[in-house]
Amino acid sequence: MTEALIPDTYSSEPAVDIADVMQKLAEHKGCGTEGGSGKASCGSSAGPADMPEEIWEKVKNHPCYSEEAHHHYARMHVAVAPACNIQCNYCNRKYDCANESRPGVVSERLTPEQASKKVLAVASTIPQMTVLGIAGPGDPLANPGKTFETFRLISEVAPDIKLCLSTNGLALPDWVDEIAKYKVDHVTITINMVDPEVGQHIYPWIFWENKRLQGYEAAKILTERQLLGLEMLTERGILAKINSVMIPGINDKHLVEVNKAVKSRGAFLHNIMPLISAPEHGTVFGLNGQRGPTAQELKALQDECEGDMNMMRHCRQCRADAVGLLGEDRSAEFTTDKIMAMEVNYDAEGRKAYQQAVEAERQAKVEAKKSELDGLDAAGDMKILVAVATKGHGIINEHFGHAKEFQIYELSAKGAKFVGHRRVDLYCKGGYGEEDALDTVIKAINDCHAVFVAKIGGCPKADLTAAGIEPIDAYAHEFIEQSALAWFKGYLAKVEAGEIVHTERGDAAIRQGALLSQAS
């Protein structure tokens, strides 16, 4: 299928001066609207003051490229690209469970025409859906015909929707000009290594020039192609996000080198994700007992790489057919049968009006947060984590028992910073809590001092308190960051008054198994 074309345009003058782009990226200290409070990860809240106008325009409503945007805007993936050109030890294409949320997994594959219809159906139902991505379930660029035909159809019927794709990078240099032609201005490359010695333990083989190559040789070609592709994207002013899977003992320390390599080539954002590895997935890593990182190990690596680079910490490692806000999956509402039966009315003006309302809501959130930034000096060097139950919009608006995940914020003298999320599945099933499920939640947020919820029952409240995690429902339906900081000041005052003693919390677990209940 894909001949190894050497694009002749690569040798010609680049469309964008790479030095200029690099300078702008270097000047841009994160996507933060907060300014002043130090390094924002893109990570953290976002605003036009911190970056060049054209980059802000690209990321402001992209939930994967802006942490702030992900509370308000939704994305969808269409599974039009089933073929893949490499094999990864963390992937098993035979495993496909409707209740599992994980890259490479889908329930059905679509033709470009079906995908286009699906995009219209979802955009009409979810007006805050702003981004369409092709992320597999194989590699989009190993299916170039289907991928670019899908982009073409969607750009005709819904020109306001941003297009993006996620690739392993092997075929990327061959398709950069096609990517630019369809105005795909966000490309994610999964780069797990820049050293073939490391890579040979992650990739058993690649398909290259009509042969299956293995070991060091395969990994060497892969890394060369990935980095060349990244440089070509940067030259053309296409924003690149780098995804890296953190595999303890294999590439965990090496990812610092990867971070430097991609930063120097103009990558906009680095997303270090925990390995998902359970025996029932049937992956090589799952079967050989390779573990994923703990919450603390992951955060420590992300913090180490943060330096001058935006780190993404809000990735949900979603399915190749996911629909909705990042923390939710509404794909079950949009199966092919349901879409074909839907009457679709694409209302571009209505979508615009809705999104303007979202912008207003977002600004209100940022203003609310600013109001609590003063008076945090008492924190000194103290940093604590808190968990939040939320359905989105930046508000504490989820019942403890209904939360499928908790968002994690770090509170310090600098303010409140989003640092991650923990999947917990559904603790509450059929209206009553279950002991084992509550244990799962406690393990997942064990590194937190408090959990903010809209509502919580008496039993879990007592158990959380016994585990040293303070359940807080006093800020129900209020802004997350403002509430967390208000509570933090109260905590600091109590510590100062000697009413309580500040202690460090332990580590937490990153959940690995399949979802027990389908997202509602």
| Chain contacts with another protein (rule: CB under 8 A) | 1, 82-85, 87, 93-94, 96, 109, 137-138, 142-143, 207, 210-212
Least distance to another protein from the beta carbon of 94, Å? 6
Q: Between residues 92 and 124, which has the closer beta carbon with respect to another protein?
A: 92
Beta bridge partners of 190: 243
Beta bridge partners of 408: 387, 420
Q: Between residues 40 and 91, which has the closer beta carbon with respect to another protein?
A: 91
Q: Between residues 104 and 237, which has the closer beta carbon with respect to another protein?
A: 104
Nearest alpha carbon to residue 187 among 243, 228, 241, 151: 241
Q: Between residues 206 and 485, which has the closer beta carbon with respect to another protein?
A: 206
Determine the Cα–Cα distance for residues 103 and 90; give it in Å rounded to an integer: 10
- On whether the CB atoms of residues 500 and 289 are closer than 8 A, the answer is no
Beta bridge partners of 134: 165
Helix (H, G, I), strand (E, B) or coil at 277: coil
Q: Between residues 32 and 138, which has the closer beta carbon with respect to another protein?
A: 138
Q: At what angle do helices 255-264 and 295-306 cross, to 10 degrees?
A: 30
Q: Between residues 3 and 8, which has the closer beta carbon with respect to another protein?
A: 3
Q: Between residues 219 and 262, which has the closer beta carbon with respect to another protein?
A: 219
Determine the Cα–Cα distance for residues 53 and 164; give it in Å rounded to an integer: 20
**Which token pair is 334?**
């949009």
**How many angstroms separate the Cα of 417 from the Cα of each of 143, 294, 368, 380?**
39, 20, 14, 16
Determine the Cα–Cα distance for residues 363 and 370; give it in Å rounded to an integer: 11
The residue type at 367 = E
Least distance to another protein from the beta carbon of 109, Å? 7
Determine the Cα–Cα distance for residues 62 and 41; give it in Å rounded to an integer: 15
Least distance to another protein from the beta carbon of 513, Å? 22
Determine the Cα–Cα distance for residues 69 and 368; give it in Å rounded to an integer: 16
Least distance to another protein from the beta carbon of 205, Å? 9
Least distance to another protein from the beta carbon of 386, Å? 42
Q: Between residues 4 and 15, which has the closer beta carbon with respect to another protein?
A: 4
Q: Between residues 286 and 433, which has the closer beta carbon with respect to another protein?
A: 286
CB-based contacts of 211, cutoff 8 Å, min separation 6 = none
Determine the Cα–Cα distance for residues 355 and 128; give it in Å rounded to an integer: 6
Q: Let me know if 214 is exposed, middle or buried by CB neighbors in 10 A (0-12, 13-18, 19+).
A: middle
Least distance to another protein from the beta carbon of 335, Å? 16
Q: Between residues 44 and 143, which has the closer beta carbon with respect to another protein?
A: 143
Q: Between residues 282 and 506, which has the closer beta carbon with respect to another protein?
A: 282
Hey, which bits of 148-264 come out as E strands? 162-167, 186-190, 205-208, 211-214, 239-246
Least distance to another protein from the beta carbon of 99, Å? 18
Least distance to another protein from the beta carbon of 93, Å? 5
Task: Count Cβ atoms below 10 Å from residue 195 Cβ, excluding itself.
Answer: 16
Q: Between residues 66 and 283, which has the closer beta carbon with respect to another protein?
A: 283
Determine the Cα–Cα distance for residues 520 and 513; give it in Å rounded to an integer: 18
Determine the Cα–Cα distance for residues 145 and 81; give it in Å rounded to an integer: 9
**Which token pair is 357?**
């309302």
In the numeric block, the tokens 């390995």 are attached to: 275
Beta bridge partners of 87: 205
**Which token pair is 159?**
């020109």
Least distance to another protein from the beta carbon of 147, Å? 12
**Which token pair is 23?**
């300078």
Least distance to another protein from the beta carbon of 83, Å? 3
